[in-house]
Chain A
Amino acid sequence: MINKIFSILEKEIKIELSQGHLFFSVLLYIVSSTYVIYLSFQPSGLFDMETWVSIFWVLILYGSITSVSKSFFQESSKRNFYYYYVYSADELILSKLIYNFLFLICMSSFTFIIFSFLLGDIIISKTFFLSLLILGSFSISNCLTLISAISYQVENNSLIISILGFPVILPILLILIRISKISSIDFSWNLIRDDIYLLILLNVILLSLTKVLFSYLWRN
Chain B
Amino acid sequence: MRFIKPLCILLLTYTFTAGYLFEVPALPILNETIRALYLHVPMWFTMIFLLLLSSFHSYRYVSNGNILHDMKSYNFAHIGVYFGILGLLTGMVWARYTWGTFWTNDPKLNGSAIGLLIYFGYFILRSSIDDESKRGKISSVYNVFSFSMLIPLIFILPRLTDSLHPGNGGNPGFNVYDMNSQLRLVFYPAVTGFILLGLWISDIRLKMLKLNQK
Contacts and interface: CB of A to CB of B under 8 A. Distances in A.
Contact of B134 (A153, A175, A206): A153
A202 interface: yes
Contacts of B125: 150, 154, 160, 163-164
B114 interface: yes
Interface of B is mostly: helix
Contacts of B124: 160, 163
Contacts of B129: 153-155
Contacts of A146: 141, 145
The CB with the most chain B CB atoms within 10 A, among A146, A178, A216, is that of A216
Contacts, number: 80
A209 interface: yes
A65 B174 CA distance: 39
Contact of B138 (A150, A163, A209): A150
Contacts of A202: 149, 152
Nearest to B61: A216
Interface in A192-220: 194-195, 198, 202, 205-206, 209-210, 213, 216-217, 220
A194 B62 CA distance: 34
Interface stretch (A2-10, A55-63, A166-174): A166-174
A19 interface: no
Interface residues of B, number: 29
Contact of A166 (B117, B133, B141): B117
Nearest to B146: A168
A160 B149 contact: no
Given A150-B125, A209-B148, A167 B137 contact: no
A131 interface: no
Given A150-B138, A154-B125, A167 B117 contact: yes
A188 B200 CA distance: 52
Contact of A154 (B118, B138, B144, B160): B138
A184 B149 CA distance: 28
A167 B115 CA distance: 7
Contacts of B160: 194-195, 198
A202 B157 CA distance: 11
A37 B88 CA distance: 35
Given A160-B125, A171-B157, A217 B138 contact: yes
Contacts of A147: 142, 145
24 contacts: A143-B149, A147-B142, A150-B138, A154-B138, A155-B128, A160-B124, A160-B125, A163-B124, A163-B125, A164-B121, A164-B146, A167-B114, A167-B117, A167-B149, A171-B149, A171-B153, A171-B157, A174-B157, A198-B152, A202-B152, A206-B148, A206-B149, A213-B145, A220-B134
Interface of A: 143, 146-147, 150, 153-156, 160, 163-164, 166-168, 170-171, 174-175, 178, 194-195, 198, 202, 205-206, 209-210, 213, 216-217, 220
Interface of B: 62-63, 114-115, 117-118, 121, 124-125, 128-129, 133-134, 137-138, 140-142, 144-146, 148-149, 152-153, 156-157, 160-161
